[in-house]
Structure 1
Amino acid sequence: MSEDQITSPLIKALTQEMPNLINSFAIFGVSPSTSPNTPTPQIQELYKYPESYKFPLKAEQFIVPRNPTIIPLTNNEIFKEQPIRYITILPGEIESVLCVCIQQNEFLNITSDLINPTGLTTQLFSVKYYTQRTYCFTTTCPYFLALFPLLHYIAERSYRNKLEYFYSVVLRLTLLSPNACLNPIKPSLEAFIHLIFRIPQKQSNPLSFTIENNKYTFARSSPPLPLTPLSQAMSMVGDYSLIRLFCTMSVEEILNILSVMLCGMGVILISENISTATSCIFGLLSLFYPFSWPGIFIPYIPDELFEFYETPVPILCSGKYPPYQCRVNAYVQELDQSYLSFFMSKISRSFISLQPNGFTLPWRSELLKKLTDCINKYVPKRPTMYDREKFIEMMPAQRVIEFSTEVMKIMNECLYRRLENSVVNFCTEMKECSLENFIQQFPQKFNTVGALFMKKFVESQHFNVWWYQLGLNTLKIKSSSTK
């Protein structure tokens, strides 16, 4: 499929070429000087590198979509919980950027060495509270398999230094002066950050990197020819997100949602788990390729922006249940649905959907069988939400990439290539066929079930764009990227 005209802010965010892999690094969260009794703690920018970088307006709402909390510490085990990983997009007036985030629990009054490299005082240990702080990279390259390990290293290293010192004082293993600090590491951390900021965005080979004498190689797939900025970007998005999508939802649910998207309708995924929800949203986006999502795209709706659910424009997003009933122009699917929420019909009480559930995909049976076989090959048993991320992290990166490559191969062979061939052959037979005539005549080729899907499909905005990109209006058929 040709990509001559790329105008969508989403596509620009995925394909804009910049000199380096990473644009900025920042830490957002509650300031250590905030009172524990503050009813609504404010999100602040606590650290930024480089200092000259300017975030889009209201970026903190998208970087930290869930309001932070300040909670009394009752158990130190809270700091052993795995950080939450998620991806979002920061919308700007001119262009948008990707934002890769890691959120971890931290003491309210103990911050990263990057924020406050000075010593801890005995006053910090009187009453203990914890909150959530978010470490993030902005980028225009969705090389998530490399970005998350690099970000995790910075987040873990910069805070563990303070945490180790805290425990040494609390456990009285070492008695230092009240203003002492254990091996301040801000200079070495900033040297590391400066080093990774020099990594070029264009990577012809998998990225290799040495951290503290340990060499790490971050795998990536090779997209099929012809190579385009969008095909390379979607390949990297799929490497990270497809395994998480298929570990979260059943194949039947995924195909149902894909049919809704191909018919030009919106999709809203509901989940309290930001990591799960955003991974699934990006997984659906990669499954939708070679088409480009034409509507609004918000990986996770911030708590203050629930009105986005009610937009009349097709929207692809995730978020938690709104505090009031919404009338939505989208198909709503709850992730990790519990028996209680199903029994209480929580979706129907929170959303009034103005759209049908979608239509049956053509060649659905074959797709269902081949994708199910692929799942059984790579994921013998779908893990629970609690074990999902741990299960995926234990998988070798190359095997994760093999899974995404095989899934996209099945989608292209069993769906997208057949759709393209059907459209091109019909236009060739008709000799002269305007888009208006095509929309009226093409669905009649199919049986009743197929005709319902095809009618919605060819009337959609993404099909309209695809039609002109292929040159079907003049029968100058261009080479397609659906290989």
Structure 2
Amino acid sequence: MEHHSPIQQALNVAPGKVVESFSIWGLPSKFRVTKPFNFFRKVQIFPSQLLFKYPKETIINEKIQEFMIPKGIELKVAENIETILNSPLGIHITFIPGDDPLFCICITRRELLQFPSDLVEETSMSSIYSSQPLETTRVYCIMTHCPDISVLSPIIKDLFALDFSLKDQWLKQFYLKTVPLIPSFKYQSSSERLFPILKSLNNLVATKSPIELIADHAIIRLFAVTKISGILSMVSSLLLNVSVFLIGKNVSLVTDCVLALLPLIQPFQWEGVVLPYIPSHLYEFLESPIPSIYGTELPTERVNVSAFVAPVEPLGIMESIDRIFVNNEKMPLPIPYFEEVYLELKRITNKYLSNVLILTTYEERINEIVKNNKSSEFAQEVLKSLNEHFFNKIIGRITVYCKQNGPIELKHFQETFPLSINDNTKQWYSEFIVSQHFSSWWLKNDMSNLHK
């Protein structure tokens, strides 16, 4: 099968091995700041460093860290160690283009700078007394062709439990003194005990394709934070070969929403650029004329774009978006059968997300989604609905025309098909059939040679 873009190379991989490599990024335990922390400088941000990789012979281009960890690594004085020890994990999926394009599942932990994973450095707990405890984040990255979070999560949680449980117990007993002393307690720091779990990652096999795994994880998260009308505007934009930029501070949220758009335009395939989260110093990407799907934080300076731009978190930033983005792109035309599709998606959303949408924060909504464990069912219903009420109908209309007038070359079809439409969808079809992904679909399905 011919592939036209890095994202399509990645999405068309057959189900198979889940983990290509495992790496840890952040700051080393002996990292020293040159500027002291004070009232005006409570948080300092630094580029992440590669601290560990497995297998050892893996070649990792360290420049990719700015796309995996686009906001850098925070460092600040640890004010509440107990809170750090009990903080939830963060997770996001990003996409790394290249000769062998891969997805990267990034799991973020809040940690004490002095106590990294034993895989990074075997540590003595007494080191906490020799310097001021500092809080940081470290990111555990799984490079994969098949981003199957459901099979990865249990093993990664086991790895963290084995790695950090003794550190946490020591801190609570001897430093924080929040739990009774355990006479038989013995602290051990050893990377060797973790390698059996690491080796087990090599045995994980996905049973679904990358596009199915992305759909299962991301679609419900997009619907949990974005209005259905906005989602359909994004879908229409992409089908008309118009860029879509999603704006938000939460990296997990924005990357999920960006990736969710890829399965939502099936059976067509996005042939443009996809970067789930662009670092702030690369805002010039936003001015590229190439059709793109980008996620990013709101730029601090004005940028000239041709894209559908939308916030994906309730920040009240729409006015700022209008001020920052000098937009050369009109609002997208509504898709054909808009009302029918909207009502059907509304029904599905009410069925699965009624108890989610009443919650205020993104974190609360995601916790409820994880608890309900209906992400895959939701995605399947949404995609089925889009096919039945939209894609099958527009493809059916095109197919009938090709059979009645075939054989017909693509250029002739593009010139004559819009003339056969007498309703208000004429302009939409006119723009849709000249898109790059329509041309690819046309060739793949040999539409030129259909006839009665």
Query: Matched residue of 1:389: which SS?
Result: helix
Could you tell me how far apart the structure 2 residues matched to 1:167 and 1:326 are? Answer: 49
Task: Normalising by structure 2, report the TM-score.
Answer: 0.91
Of 70, 80, 88, 2:94 maps to 88
Mapping of residues 56-455 of structure 1, within 5 Å: 56=61, 58-76=63-81, 77-92=83-98, 94-124=99-129, 126-172=131-177, 173-174=180-181, 182-184=187-189, 186-201=191-206, 203=207, 232-339=209-316, 341-342=317-318, 345-381=319-355, 382=357, 383-384=359-360, 385-396=362-373, 399-455=374-430
Q: What letter matches 1:191 in structure 2?
A: P
Query: Matched residue of 1:449: which SS?
Result: coil
- Once structures 1 and 2 are overlaid, which stretch shifts more, 35-44 or 296-305? 35-44
Q: Corresponding residue for 1:225?
A: none
Could you tell me how far apart the structure 2 residues matched to 1:418 and 1:157 are? Answer: 53
Query: Matched residue of 2:47: which SS?
Result: coil
Of 2, 7, 16, 1:5 maps to 2
By how many angstroms is 1:393 displaced? 1.3
By how many angstroms is 1:116 displaced? 1.5
Of 458, 476, 482, 2:433 maps to 458
Aligned length: 437
Q: What letter matches 1:256 in structure 2?
A: S
Contact 1:145/1:240, CA 8 A, preserved across alignment: no
Query: Matched residue of 1:46: which SS?
Result: strand
By how many angstroms is 1:41 displaced? 2.3
By how many angstroms is 1:475 displaced? 2.7
Contact 2:244/2:309, CA 8 A, preserved across alignment: yes
Deviations 1:196-255 (A, max 9, x none): 212345x3xxxxxxxxxxxxxxxx7xxxxxxxxxxx332221111111111111111111
Q: Corresponding residue for 1:16?
A: 13
Query: Matched residue of 2:108: which SS?
Result: strand
Q: Which runs of 5+ in 2 are unaligned?
A: 36-43
Query: Matched residue of 1:25: which SS?
Result: strand
Query: Matched residue of 2:331: which SS?
Result: coil
Q: Which runs of 5+ in 1 are unaligned?
A: 204-219, 221-231, 478-483
Could you tell me how far apart the structure 1 residues matched to 2:165 and 2:263 are? Answer: 35
Q: Corresponding residue for 2:41?
A: none
Mapping of residues 49-60 of structure 1, within 5 Å: 49-56=54-61, 58-60=63-65
Contact 2:405/2:451, CA 8 A, preserved across alignment: no
Contact 2:94/2:255, CA 8 A, preserved across alignment: yes
Query: Matched residue of 1:69: which SS?
Result: strand
Task: Normalising by structure 1, report the TM-score.
Answer: 0.85
By how many angstroms is 1:181 displaced? 6.8
> Against the structure 1 CA distance between its residues 476 and 304, is the aligned structure 2 distance closer, same or farther, given a 3 Å change threshold?
farther
What is the Cα-based RMSD across aligned positions, in Å? 2.3
By how many angstroms is 1:12 displaced? 1.5
By how many angstroms is 1:150 displaced? 3.2
Could you tell me how far apart the structure 2 residues matched to 1:83 and 1:123 are? Answer: 23
Q: What letter matches 1:271 in structure 2?
A: G
